[in-house]
Amino acid sequence: MNLYLYNTLTKKKEKFEPINPPYVGMYTCGPTVYNYAHIGNLRTYIFEDILKRVLLYNNYIVNHVMNITDVGHLTSDADEGEDKIEREAKKERRSAWEIAEFYTEAFKRDIKKLNIIEPNIWCKATDHIKDFIDLILILENKGYTYRTSDGIYFDTSKVPEYGKLAGQELENLLPGARVEYNPEKRNPTDFALWKFSPKDVKRQMEWDSPWGVGFPGWHIECSVMSTKYLGQPFDIHCGGIDHIPIHHTNEIAQSEAAYDKPMAKYWLHGEFLVMGDKKMAKSEGNFITLSDLEEKGYHPLAYRYFCLTAHYRSPLRFTWTALEGAQRALNRLYENMKKYPKVDAEFDKNYEEEFHKAINDDLDMPKALAITWELVKDNKIPSEIKRTTLLQFDRVLGLSLDNPPEIKIEVPEEIWGLLEEREIARKNKDWEKADKIREEIKAKGYIIEDTPQGPRLKKAKPLSK
RNA sequence: GGCGGCAUCGCCAAGCGGCUAAGGCAGGAGAUUGCAAAUCUCCCAUUCCCCGGUUCGAGUCCGGGUGCCGCCUCCA
């Protein structure tokens, strides 16, 4: 079955044809590890995971590379401002290296909880300084660079196609734009390849280079590491939609200038998660982390399910009610799965084909989920077949349908006491007292479900906002 | 100022010119329960922001409004 993907480069849905089938090289821009990821960041990684799983489902052999930006990402793309990692280190009174290490681990924990398959290769920027310098040297030899007082810059006017990914013309960037003006730059879109360490402050992360002590620019990192591990051109490059106009545009400029061939064949971008009507962003101060969700009693996979209800190229509006809905829907899938007998059976070919068609149509996960529900509700399909078919779907959905996670909650001693008291009242058919205790427990944030096996506790969830 | 996108049930959200406008959540009715919860069954948009147009046929294409968002600062 053909796979179709929307390519930002051509602005069209295209038939996916890897350069060297059945191998697929895929590079996804990883996190800058100066803080926890928020669920908006994580939406993109979920989208990329779905993409990868769909490729695997189509029997491609995927080599997935993800970078960790642990140096060089400044607080402004105008190449002003501080290095994000160093700034955070100062704030937390830890070394830059510790900060990077700490948030890298936090990130890896998050994606694990979301059932995101780990990349085949993780690469850290600080492990590739020599490679960055090598590429800058190539660019320098080809005349693409120039020196200013604070670094080595890439001259974007030397690239006729500059901005092709974003569809932006150089000339249109000036008027009204909120660009910090750097008088030493030849063009407003020029960007730093290598930045010199400031004279007055000692940086924690800095290296020698042919141009002086300093650190690499952000964009060079992805250009170098993607090509190093995947060759050039490689098949797929992904990232958030925000990377189109600058980061990916600059990657393309560098890589194609250096090697005179396309950087990647397909460029895919995930849309934003929005909060109210605004995007979720650290700078907007409206961000929520995965731990925030967990603290409220939501499972990370409920968030994954929530993300699957929207197409990756549409903005998705986050509300607590919508997340609650996702959690409930997912629980229902789990409940259904538990009922089905665990015996070997062939999956249902018709449903599988429908599902396959949906995911191959530019990852139409909302459709795929709709098909999933149709199957669950179809009483013409025997339950053991439902089970195997759903497990087949779960190779892409990644919702752990075969092994539903238990939501662990911490219950204080006090609640256990009340619960016991209520059970005694119930045995004595003192319903009034039992209901009163139930109310009391509810007031303390827990909901009781009486089952034939005894009472079960759940954390009450705030539905507001 | 430039570029791009979006407006579909109370909420989230599919749909990309043609069967009766997916699906989930919420809501309603019933089964179950001491009552609940959970679970199960059934019901739940003659209509797609507004106005024109193209077409045998439009939520889907075109033109014009209105409202909103993103990017051109950092961002997934």
Q: What is the CATH number of the domain that holds A308?
A: 1.20.120.640
A129-133, A192-196, A270-274, A451-455: segment of lowest average pLDDT:
A451-455
Backbone angles phi and psi of A436, in degrees to 5: -65, -45
Model confidence pLDDT, tens digit, residues A107-122: 999 999 999 999 999 9
Q: What is the largest CA-CA distance in chain A?
A: 89
Taking the C-alpha atoms of residue A220 and residue A191, their distance in angstroms, rounded to an integer, is 10
CA of A424 to C1' of B2 (A): 72
Backbone angles phi and psi of A162, in degrees to 5: -55, 130
The closest nt to A379, taking CA to C1', is B41
CB atoms within 10 A of CB A260: 9
CA of A431 to C1' of B29 (A): 27
Model confidence pLDDT, tens digit, residues A374-430: 999 888 888 899 999 999 999 999 999 988 887 667 788 888 888 899 999 998 888
Residues ≥6 apart with Cβ < 8 Å to A277: none
Task: Please give the distance of CA A319 from its chain centroid, rounded to a whole number.
Answer: 19
> Is A404 inside a domain boundary?
no
**Cα angle value A195/A196/A198 (rounded, 5°):** 120
A5-14, A54-63, A66-75, A403-412: segment of lowest average pLDDT:
A403-412
In this prediction, residues A350-374 reach a mean pLDDT of: 92
My answer on whether A304 and A374 are in the same domain is yes
Among candidate residues A227, A244, A270, the one where a domain is terminated: A270
Q: How confident is the model at residue A341 (pLDDT cuts 50, 70, 90)?
A: confident
DSSP state letter for A346 = P
CA nearest to A201, candidates A44, A358, A86, A76: A86
CA of A196 to C1' of B72 (A): 27
pLDDT reported for residue A165: 84
CA of A318 to C1' of B60 (A): 26
Among candidate residues A397, A421, A441, the one where a domain is terminated: A397
> How many folded domains does chain A comprise?
3
My answer on whether A221 and A313 are in the same domain is no
CA of A337 to C1' of B36 (A): 25
> Is A407 inside a domain boundary?
no
CA of A244 to C1' of B5 (A): 14
Model confidence pLDDT, tens digit, residues A243-271: 988 899 999 999 999 999 999 999 999 99
> Is A405 inside a domain boundary?
no
On average, the pLDDT of chain A sits at 88
CA nearest to A125, candidates A63, A24, A194: A194
The closest nt to A188, taking CA to C1', is B72
Which amino acid is located at A240 in the chain?
G
Kindly provide the ipTM of the predicted complex, given to two decimals.
0.91
Q: Which residue has the higher pLDDT, A297 or A436?
A: A436
Kindly report which amino acid residue has its CA closest to the C1' atom of nucleotide B32.
A451
Taking the C-alpha atoms of residue A366 and residue A359, their distance in angstroms, rounded to an integer, is 9
pLDDT reported for residue A465: 27
Checking if the pLDDT of A78 tops 80, the result is: no
Taking the C-alpha atoms of residue A465 and residue A460, their distance in angstroms, rounded to an integer, is 15
Sheet containing A61-68: order of strands = A121-124, A61-68, A23-28, A234-240, A264-270
Rounded percentage of chain A residues whose pLDDT exceeds 70: 92
Q: Are A191 and A154 in contact (CB under 8 A)?
A: yes
pLDDT reported for residue A37: 92
DSSP for A205-226? S-B--TT-SEEE-HHHHHHHHH
pLDDT reported for residue A446: 83
My answer on whether A298 and A172 are in the same domain is no
Helical H segments across A114-156, by residue range: 129-141
The closest nt to A40, taking CA to C1', is B76
The closest nt to A318, taking CA to C1', is B12
Which amino acid is located at A183 in the chain?
P
Checking if the pLDDT of A216 tops 80, the result is: yes
My answer on whether A182 and A286 are in the same domain is no
**Cα angle value A303/A6/A117 (rounded, 5°):** 40
> Is A235 inside a domain boundary?
yes
pLDDT reported for residue A118: 96
> Is A389 inside a domain boundary?
yes
Checking if the pLDDT of A289 tops 80, the result is: yes
My answer on whether A261 and A302 are in the same domain is no
Domain that holds residue A450: 413-459
Checking if the pLDDT of A224 tops 80, the result is: yes
Residues ≥6 apart with Cβ < 8 Å to A282: A35, A38
My answer on whether A286 and A339 are in the same domain is yes
A255-264, A279-288, A312-321, A365-374: segment of lowest average pLDDT:
A279-288
Residues ≥6 apart with Cβ < 8 Å to A97: A204, A205
- Whose structure tokens read 């996916």? A16
My answer on whether A88 and A117 are in the same domain is yes
> By three-state DSSP, how is residue A64 classified?
strand
Checking if the pLDDT of A234 tops 50, the result is: yes
Helices and strands in chain A, H and E counts: 14, 16
A142-156, A205-219, A445-459: segment of lowest average pLDDT:
A445-459
My answer on whether A89 and A9 are in the same domain is yes
My answer on whether A92 and A131 are in the same domain is yes
Which amino acid is located at A136 in the chain?
I
CA nearest to A445, candidates A418, A406, A422: A418
Task: Please give the distance of CA A411 from its chain centroid, rounded to a whole number.
Answer: 32
H/E segment holding residue A25 = strand A23-28
The closest nt to A81, taking CA to C1', is B74
CA of A375 to C1' of B35 (A): 35
Rounded percentage of chain A residues whose pLDDT exceeds 90: 52
In this prediction, residues A87-99 reach a mean pLDDT of: 88
Task: Please report, for the domain that includes residue A160, its CATH number.
Answer: 3.40.50.620
Taking the C-alpha atoms of residue A66 and residue A262, their distance in angstroms, rounded to an integer, is 20
Among candidate residues A270, A298, A315, the one where a domain is terminated: A270
pLDDT reported for residue A453: 78
My answer on whether A279 and A389 are in the same domain is yes
A75-89, A319-333, A446-460: segment of lowest average pLDDT:
A75-89
Q: How confident is the model at residue A456 (pLDDT cuts 50, 70, 90)?
A: confident
Angle between helices A300-308 and A96-113 (to 10 degrees): 70
In this prediction, residues A222-241 reach a mean pLDDT of: 94
pLDDT reported for residue A211: 95
Checking if the pLDDT of A221 tops 50, the result is: yes
My answer on whether A430 and A357 are in the same domain is no
Q: Are A306 and A322 in contact (CB under 8 A)?
A: yes
Residues linked to residue A302 through DSSP beta bridges, in sequence order: none
pLDDT reported for residue A305: 94
Protein contacts on strand B: list nucleotides below 7 Å from a Cβ. Answer: 1-4, 6, 10-16, 22-26, 33-42, 68-76
